[in-house]
Amino acid sequence: MPRHPDPGLEERILNAAAKLWKKGAEKTLTMRAVAKAAGTNTPAVYRRFKDRTDILHALLRRLQKDVADVVRASQSAEDACERFLEFAVSHPHEYELFYEHAYQLPHPVRGPMREHRPTMALMEVRLAERLGGTPEEHTRLALALWAVTHGTAMILISKSIPDEHAAELRSVFSSTVKSMVRNASI
């Protein structure tokens, strides 16, 4: 009897892989564990993903889209930073995956870097809308804003400061971002 393709299997595999990542990061992400968690068998997983790295790349692409959607919904560069920080703190395991492994995503040999880093491109657009000029003229400020946002996210996620200082850190973060944008020049 011929097999019938399961159109939802790839999504189930990725959802299972994401749950496994949340549980124990890389050490839990095996093809066998993904298959079991997705309610299928290992050969079915291999028919859709050539190996563990392929699953990891698919998770990264999905996360990259999720992060870009968060930034795309923002009304300003400051709002983008706030939303990005909230995403990171609310999804610490996904954030860890995104920043520890995003460099592994294959990049085409040609084409501008902004096509491969949509979040950065969106931030540059928000800055150009606010400050004038072209998005490309705001790369330096966008990088500085991401550095401040990432640093704040990592401090909050790792609980490097006492809980009673978390609200103050967020306030300092917001003030810093506003000041950086307000004092920016092309």
The model's pLDDT over 32-79, given as tens digits with 9 standing for 90+, comes to 999 999 999 999 999 999 998 899 889 988 888 888 898 889 999 999
116 or 11, which is more confident: 11
43 and 121 together in one domain: no
pLDDT (0 to 100) of residue 186: 57
pLDDT at 112: 47
Q: How confident is the model at residue 113 (pLDDT cuts 50, 70, 90)?
A: very low
Domain match, 44 and 67 both: no
Same domain, 141 and 107: yes
pLDDT of 2 above 70: no
Tokens 């850190």 — which residue?
169
Name the pTM for this structure. 0.81
Assess if residue 54 is contained within a domain: no
Residues 83, 130, single domain; the answer is yes
Burial class (CB in 10 A: 0-12, 13-18, 19+), 74: middle
Q: Is the dihedral of CA 119, 125, 129, 134 positive or negative?
A: positive
What does the H/E/C string look like for 59-125?
HHHHHHHHHHHHHHCCCCHHHHHHHHHHHHHHCHHHHHHHHHHHHHCCCCCCCCHHHCCHHHHHHHH
86 and 161 together in one domain = yes
pLDDT at res. 97: 82
